[in-house]
Amino acid sequence: MTVSDNREADWLSRGASTSLQGLRVLDLTRILAGPYLTMLLGDLGADVIKVEGPTGDDTRHWGPPFVDGEATYFWSANRNKRSLVLDLKSDDGRAKLAELARTADVIVENFRPGVAARLGTSYEDARQLNPRIIYCSISAFGEAEAAKNLAGYDLLVQAYGGLMSITGTEGSGPVKAGVALVDVLAGLHGCVGILAALQHRHSTGQGQRIKVSLLQALLASLANQATAYLGTGRSPGLMGNQHPSIVPYQTFSTADGQIAIACGNDRHFESLCESLDRQDLAGDERYSTNTARVDNRSTLLPTLEESTKKIATQELQEMLTKSGVPAGPVNDIAGAFESARQLGLDPIRRIEREGKTIPQVASPIEMSETPVRYDYAPPAFPQDHA
């Protein structure tokens, strides 16, 4: 694979067909957090060169499901990239990587702490080759000595970071999120950092290093639950689908399934009670304000569910929506895509690659002047290893 030097490309020009046109990203990451980050940059127009080891990204082998021998997990975070195989333990592989680093604007890596330095691919190494480089390191727990031997899997970070302690019920015990959510959050934070660093470089000519840890990304994303602890000194506990500060704000059983109801204010609650023909609840001083409802949830919630269980999900949703009460069905993933389609969204893209059609989840970003692209399907594993 031959890569030309376009470091001076005016990727910020107004006339660019994509936001990051001309930006070159060297992707040294694997699994999800780093690949998701670099895919976002690729979606926005960057030229992303994914460097894989001789056996490929780990997620090429994570399945089932496989489709025509390819892991769908790999598809989730690797579109809009070119793939190159290099053995970074060899002198030849490191020399070729150095050549690429000279032409890159951004390098993203998620090696374990200390590995990049051993391989000669650290920020200091890259800066010697390219002083304008923006270098983003993603780790699980940071780079301190105490973190060096901890494996960076999302499940472990959910456990360490407290997310599991507020997900689940007393009956189930702590439960992980159904997707590697912390990886995605870390990728998003890393992407924001890179875009900020690019703006800084545009103004000053200076590159810089960015560090994002999965644990810090999770703690920041705990939002109100984290500040509840910081403000009171008490750790929130397991509440299932309930909300610690808003009632009712959870799922309820219906005659044929489950529905989510989110009463964000007292007016919503009054409309809910009217729709269920339970105006008596709205007039009860135990439930007349949100604070009172939080204090008395143990008696209110079973009473509400007695009513919701008598009505089918779709009928109840239509009834509540008409009354201005936020409500929606608890979909499976197939239902979620169908709901998005029915709501006028376009949630699926299909990209061709060598006669194969690979489905992709559409980017949630819509831009009027420089739209997200879907130019390249997730690459097949290269047959000609460099």
SS3 category, 332: coil
Mean pLDDT of the region 148-152: 87
Residue 16 reports pLDDT greater than 80:
no
- Select the more confidently predicted residue: 199 or 10: 199
Mean pLDDT of the region 13-19: 66
Per-residue confidence (pLDDT) for residue 79, from 0 to 100: 98
- Average pLDDT value for the chain: 94
HSE (CB half, 13 Å, CA atoms) of 240? 11
Residue 9 reports pLDDT greater than 60:
no
Which CATH number is 249-330's, of 3.30.1540.10, 3.10.20.30, 3.40.50.720, 3.40.50.300?
A: 3.30.1540.10
Hey, how many other C-beta atoms are within 10 angstroms of the C-beta on 41? 26
Residue with token string 């609840």: 281
SS3 category, 178: coil
Token representation of residue 242: 């309930």
- Select the more confidently predicted residue: 2 or 278: 278
Residue 12 reports pLDDT greater than 50:
no
Query: Tens digits of per-residue pLDDT, 66-116?
Result: 999 999 999 999 999 999 999 999 999 999 999 999 999 999 999 999 999
Per-residue confidence (pLDDT) for residue 148, from 0 to 100: 86
Rg (CA), the chain: 25
CA angle 379/337/243 to nearest 5° reads 115
CA angle 178/181/184 to nearest 5° reads 145
Task: Report d(CA 43, CA 346) in Å as an integer.
Answer: 16
Residue 7 reports pLDDT greater than 50:
no
What are the sequence ranges of the domains in the chain?
24-221, 249-330
Cis, peptide link before residue 347, omega less than 30° from 0: no
Mean pLDDT of the region 204-230: 97
SS3 category, 139: strand
Contact (Cβ atoms closer than 8 angstroms) between residue 50 and residue 172:
no
- Please provide residue 84's backbone torsions phi and psi, each rounded to the nearest 5 degrees: -135, 135
Per-residue confidence (pLDDT) for residue 385, from 0 to 100: 53
Beta-carbon contacts of 17 under 8 Å, excluding residues fewer than 6 positions away, are 45, 370
Alpha-helical segments (H) within 31-105? 33-43, 72-75, 91-103
Q: Give DSSP secondary structure letters for 290-305.
A: HHHHHHTHHHHHHHHH
Of the candidates 239, 210, 276, the one whose C-alpha atom is nearest the C-alpha of residue 41 is: 210
pTM over 0.85: yes
Query: Tens digits of per-residue pLDDT, 170-209?
Result: 999 999 999 999 999 999 999 999 999 999 999 999 999 9
Pairing of strands 66-67, 70-71: antiparallel
Query: Tens digits of per-residue pLDDT, 20-44?
Result: 999 999 999 999 999 999 999 999 9
Residue 4 reports pLDDT greater than 80:
no
Which CATH number is 24-221's, of 3.20.20.140, 3.30.420.60, 3.30.1490.20, 3.40.50.10540?
A: 3.40.50.10540
Token representation of residue 70: 């390819």
**Would the CA dihedral through 37, 43, 49, 53 be positive or negative?**
positive
Per-residue confidence (pLDDT) for residue 302, from 0 to 100: 98
Please identify every residue annotated as catalytic: 183
Of the candidates 381, 379, 363, 382, the one whose C-alpha atom is nearest the C-alpha of residue 45 is: 363
Task: Report d(CA 80, CA 67) in Å as an integer.
Answer: 19
Contact (Cβ atoms closer than 8 angstroms) between residue 326 and residue 264:
yes
Per-residue confidence (pLDDT) for residue 11, from 0 to 100: 39
Per-residue confidence (pLDDT) for residue 384, from 0 to 100: 56
Contact (Cβ atoms closer than 8 angstroms) between residue 253 and residue 309:
yes
Query: Tens digits of per-residue pLDDT, 352-365?
Result: 999 999 999 999 99
Burial class (CB in 10 A: 0-12, 13-18, 19+), 337: middle
Of the candidates 32, 93, 38, 94, the one whose C-alpha atom is nearest the C-alpha of residue 60 is: 32
* Run of H or E including 260: strand 258-262
Per-residue confidence (pLDDT) for residue 5, from 0 to 100: 44
SS3 category, 157: helix
